[in-house]
Chain A
Amino acid sequence: MTQASIPPRGKVADFVRRNPTIIIGGFLLLLITLAAIFAPWIARDPIAFEPINRLKAPSAEFWLGTDSLGRDVYARMVYGARISLLVGLTVAIITVISGSVIGLLAGYFPRVDAVVMRLMDGIMAIPSILLAIALVALMGSSVKVVIIAIAIPEIPRVTRLVRAVVLSVRDLPFVEAARSNGTRVAKLLRRHILPSTVAPLIVQATYICASAILTEAGLSFLGAGTPPEFPTWGNMIASSRLYLQIAPWTIFAPGICLALVVLSVNLLGDGLRDRLDPRISRRM
């Protein structure tokens, strides 16, 4: 990337050229978010079914065909984005907040650390999808339970990350100085240590969002996620699996959409990582 050979351009063009993944990921994500928000205006009723129109191939009337109950696949796909994005975003927020509080405390207080990190090792050993299945089996399926079930196994990832950052800055001179000035621990953690965790946390949050969207779809697909009456991509695929041969669009449309959303979130994460924090290694 030689600077001299490139004619001067605006700041925006420069940013686009340097961060193609942020732009591609962000643009796709924006598009899908807008579709989810304005779903009632751009798609018909996702739940209404017309048995006469069962398993219709994609056409001008039904852009992506209809499913086995005669429901509009395009409409269900657009509405499905709502659940996926809601789960992805909420899980990311919950895990980042709870994981950083735990990580800050663990990193700063060695006694807390010993207990908390053993707990985190234990949670990480349980396969996340099984933990989620167990929670859903115990508490019944609802969007709320699904969000909690997906968030719990992701917390250790945030905790470890924040803890590592705290350990690396805890004894640096600027923290030492604040401490010797008599700053209280709560303020010390919030004002002097927390800022160092922000960049890696943003990156980690995007990866968690992507992985939460995947897990939600997997749980719905297995029948352990969002109740079947909700149009989610996992539910759509699960309810159409018997029609793969005669109506592949009923599976491919939500499947490809799901992959695109996760891909765009991951691309955004990769771009942010390269930009904000080149040292962080992915998914560790």
Chain B
Amino acid sequence: MLSYILRRLLGVIPVMVVVGVFVFSLLHLAPGDPAAIIAGDTATQADISRIRTNLGLDRPLLEQFSSWGWATLRGDLGVSMFSGIPVTELMAQRMGPTVSLAFTTMLVAVVIAITLGVLAAWKAGSLLDRAVMALAVTGFSVPVFVVGYIMVYFVALQWRWLPVQGYMPMSEGFWPWLRHLILPSFALGLGYVALIARITRGSMLEVLSEDYIRTAAAKGVATVPMLLRHALKNAAVPIITVIGIGVALLISGVVITESVFNIPGIGRLVVDAISRRDYPIIQGVMVVFAAVYVLINLVIDIAYSFIDPRIRYS
């Protein structure tokens, strides 16, 4: 078991090296001078040559890659061309809203999706089951910003129940914080609900057809404990896998959701960087989000062995 965890940890290295090589070569494969791209549209010739020397873009590629790689590992993601502030610092400032949004979305989505999935599997073939499956297909198909604007129009503008947009840090109080996150979490969570509910239903259906469930039911185990303790626990592995895979979906969604609801998080940072052509920011966020994705999936892989003792690693 320990050796499995160790091996899995080591497995992260090649993936992150590939991410690094890939992200690094994007800048160099793009047509045009990397220094000019980083300098942005308003740069003068002097700016460009200064950036070229500062970033060492005149040195051999391999040397550039290793110095960029080491800097990235030390947490130095370069400097924003627009504001001159280090990218790491900018990201740290914007962390709060993004982490809050990701957390509430995941919580809402996992709770709703597993409830719906379990109910749908329990009453397979019923109207409820069909409604859940219809929701699952629709949830995949409606983009975050469309759900977002429909919800803003009705819930915030017509009925005035919740704020239209913006963000309140938790230091302003729990309720103001939560109020601003309800609509974004539901808008962003819909696709995630669809994904998890579908897998939960499938995995539960499989488990519910097992003999031990029939035995439990025959012995008079009440429905709720049977569904949760006997079935859901054994159906958990695929569900947790898909929660991990869905993190990629969530990260991409965060970028769009923050734009819809005007939340000053890391997603907004990237989107604002597009129009300013502030490439170091885009590059930095790309590396950090990739690392987050890899780490979450690593944790999930390791978590399997605790959740499901049937899984053996050789």
Contact = CB atoms under 8 A, between A and B. Distances in A.
A129 B252 contact: yes
Given A130-B282, A255-B149, A222 B271 contact: yes
B270 A133 contact: yes
Interface stretch (B18-26, B85-93, B97-105, B168-176): B18-26
B256 A127 contact: no
B143 A130 contact: no
Contacts of A270: 137
B274 A256 contact: no
Given A121-B18, A237-B149, A241-B149, A134 B293 contact: no
Interface stretch (B123-131, B150-158, B223-231): B150-158
Contacts of A255: 143, 145-146, 149-150
A267 interface: yes
11 contacts: A118-B18, A122-B22, A126-B290, A127-B252, A127-B293, A130-B251, A130-B252, A134-B279, A137-B279, A138-B37, A222-B274
B140 interface: yes
Interface string B287-298: 001100110000
Given A135-B26, A259-B141, A282-B198, A130 B274 contact: no
Interface of B: 14-19, 21-23, 26-27, 30-31, 37, 137-138, 140-146, 149-150, 152-153, 157, 195, 198, 245, 248, 251-252, 255-256, 259-260, 270-271, 273-275, 277, 279, 282-283, 285-286, 289-290, 293-294
The 10 nearest A-B residue pairs measured at CB: A122-B18, A255-B146, A138-B30, A263-B141, A129-B252, A262-B141, A259-B142, A127-B251, A125-B290, A130-B286
A137 B274 contact: yes
Contacts of B285: 130
A58 interface: no
A16 interface: no
A15 interface: no
Contact of B143 (A121, A135, A139, A217): A217
Interface in A224-258: 224, 237, 241, 244-245, 248, 251-252, 255-256, 258
Interface residues of A, number: 47
A134 B271 contact: no
A78 B294 CA distance: 41
Given A122-B22, A125-B15, A263-B138, A130 B279 contact: no
B145 A138 contact: no
A283 interface: yes
Contacts of A29: none
Nearest to B27: A138
B141 A210 contact: yes
Given A122-B15, A221-B256, A128 B248 contact: yes
Contact of A134 (B17, B141, B144, B283): B283
A214 B253 CA distance: 11
Contacts of B144: 218
A244 to B, nearest CB: 6
A259 B30 CA distance: 33
B18 A119 contact: yes
Contacts of A130: 251-252, 255, 270, 282, 285-286, 289
A138 to B, nearest CB: 4
A134 B282 contact: yes
A131 interface: yes
A97 interface: no
A127 B286 contact: yes
A284 B14 CA distance: 21
Contacts of B14: 118, 121-122
B314 to A, nearest CB: 19
A136 interface: yes
Contacts of A134: 23, 26, 279, 282-283, 286
Interface in A73-132: 118-119, 121-131
Most buried by A among B260, B270, B283: B270
Given A137-B273, A252-B149, A258-B146, 14 more contacts: A124-B248, A125-B16, A125-B294, A129-B256, A134-B279, A134-B286, A136-B274, A137-B274, A218-B256, A221-B256, A222-B255, A259-B142, A263-B142, A267-B137
A80 to B, nearest CB: 13
B114 to A, nearest CB: 18
B195 A283 contact: yes
B31 A139 contact: yes
Contacts of B15: 118, 121-122, 125
A124 B177 CA distance: 33
A51 to B, nearest CB: 25
A22 B30 CA distance: 41
Contact of B153 (A248, A263, A267): A248
A119 B285 CA distance: 20
Contacts of A251: 146, 149, 153
A263 B136 CA distance: 11
A71 B256 CA distance: 25
A26 interface: no
